[in-house]
Structure 1
């Protein structure tokens, strides 16, 4: 049995996408749970090597019981210093857990499409300058006290952070596959009318231009975040 990774998703149709594919390729077993649908979270990390909380259409500021429970639960991997990764909503939950603000811009600006981010001095070993990433969000988060900012953006300044040695929060979506992007553009197309959003054709153009680089970045990041053991050789990966 491979190393078990806790995967927290927020909708019935949600997928861990490329992050899940890359972890399986590294010999990991995915323990997928959906607290929004009633799945429990573990009381400790003794049965898991790491944890990933993904995104969703809800807000980290919502008073929904599962949002509050997940946000509080992030203290478990942080206390045990187990690898933790929060993506978009998951990163915002991490920021809230650590006492930082999660906010919507006053002008209701969003990011939807491919946007450049820039590494900070502490993030130069992880990111290109600039690095184009896929965004799909209407809220951002401030940098929590004690966290290290790794990448910055223009409209949403905090794009990547690290807390401690192994806990990371990302604003962007490295897990995105082509079918996932197509589904988001279909089911969330109203977001494309918001200030700052890119039209659908630019999402496809951006993917053709930047996806290979972002895919390579994800592999480099995961190698640092969760050094792999006995990586399974897979010649092709579903895109």
Structure 2
């Protein structure tokens, strides 16, 4: 298998690659990063094979607060047009959707905690999410959602949010939820964004969130499955 050069975009210190870094290490793939909270230097398209876009508490429309957002969206769009494999998680999925011309906006409900997602018929047929147990609980932390980009196919939904996962042009994946989450990253998100944990229909308390750490191994395995699938270059 070819050694991949994976570049990732990180927006805040407490939302890093999580278990994706473990996968890349085991596979022998190289990692490089643009950490926007430190610098805004972006690589040339020729310098990487995959682009992974991580989460963060900001919105794709917060360009007045984060002046690097327009350049980031243009970079994502250029990577997609260049035929790179692009994977977005939470904010990353929203940035991909926005880069493809879809609208991103506040969801009717915030969704924070462990809630099930349901594979669509297409998602189950392709088994992209390793959905042999469906529905399955995943970790969410988002207040925004997005319209499905033109040409994209929906892979999963939840009760609170229609567009939970999509694939575009065989090589671009958007996940609204966090397959990559680790116990450490759970604690980090609660520490830095805990003021959002106002218990509601789809918002759990910190205690409840941390009480379901047994799900982490399962969602990490699903992340590994998806990465293996994309690494294999299979037709999706």
Distance in 2, matches of 1:13 and 1:170, equals 18
Q: Does 2:90 match 1:88?
A: yes
Contact 2:14 2:188 in 1 (8 A): no
Kindly provide the CA deviation profile for residues 176-234 of structure 1, in whole angstroms up to 9, marking residues without a partner as x. Answer: 110110121122111111532111222123222x2222121111101111239xxxxxx
- Displacement of 1:31 in angstroms is 0.4
Q: Name the counterpart of 1:121.
A: 121
Give unpaired runs (5+ residues) of structure 1. 229-239
Contact 2:139 2:177 in 1 (8 A): yes
- Structure 1 SS opposite 2:62: coil
Kindly provide the CA deviation profile for residues 133-175 of structure 1, in whole angstroms up to 9, marking residues without a partner as x. Answer: 1001111111111101011111111000011011011101112
Distance in 2, matches of 1:35 and 1:212, equals 29
Q: Name the counterpart of 1:54.
A: 54
RMSD: 1.8
- Structure 2 SS opposite 1:15: coil
Q: Does 2:205 match 1:203?
A: no
Q: Does 2:29 match 1:28?
A: yes
Contact 1:4 1:50 in 2 (8 A): yes
Distance in 2, matches of 1:47 and 1:72, equals 17
Contact 2:183 2:216 in 1 (8 A): no
Aligned residues: 224
Distance in 2, matches of 1:162 and 1:33, equals 24
Q: Does 2:196 match 1:191?
A: yes
Instruction: Give the alignment of 1:163-174 within 5 angstroms.
Output: 163-174=168-179
Which deviates further from its counterpart, 59-68 or 13-22? Answer: 13-22
Distance in 1, matches of 2:121 and 2:153, equals 10
Instruction: Give the alignment of 1:124-143 within 5 angstroms.
Output: 124=124, 125-127=127-129, 128=131, 129-143=134-148
In structure 2, relative to structure 1, the CA distance for the partners of 1:69 and 1:105 (3 Å cut) is same
- Find 2:105's aligned residue among 85, 88, 103: 103
Distance in 1, matches of 2:105 and 2:186, equals 24
Structure 1 runs of 4+ with >6 Å offset: none
Q: Name the counterpart of 1:157.
A: 162
- Find 1:67's aligned residue among 55, 69, 74: 69
Contact 1:112 1:134 in 2 (8 A): yes
- Structure 2 SS opposite 1:157: coil
Distance in 2, matches of 1:105 and 1:178, equals 26
Kindly provide the CA deviation profile for residues 95-140 of structure 1, in whole angstroms up to 9, marking residues without a partner as x. Answer: 111111111135xx31111110000111111232102110011111
TM-score w.r.t. structure 2 length?
Answer: 0.89
Give unpaired runs (5+ residues) of structure 2. none
In structure 2, relative to structure 1, the CA distance for the partners of 1:28 and 1:57 (3 Å cut) is same
Distance in 2, matches of 1:81 and 1:25, equals 25
Q: Name the counterpart of 1:237.
A: none
- Structure 2 SS opposite 1:37: coil
- Displacement of 1:13 in angstroms is 4.8
Which deviates further from its counterpart, 176-185 or 34-43? Answer: 34-43
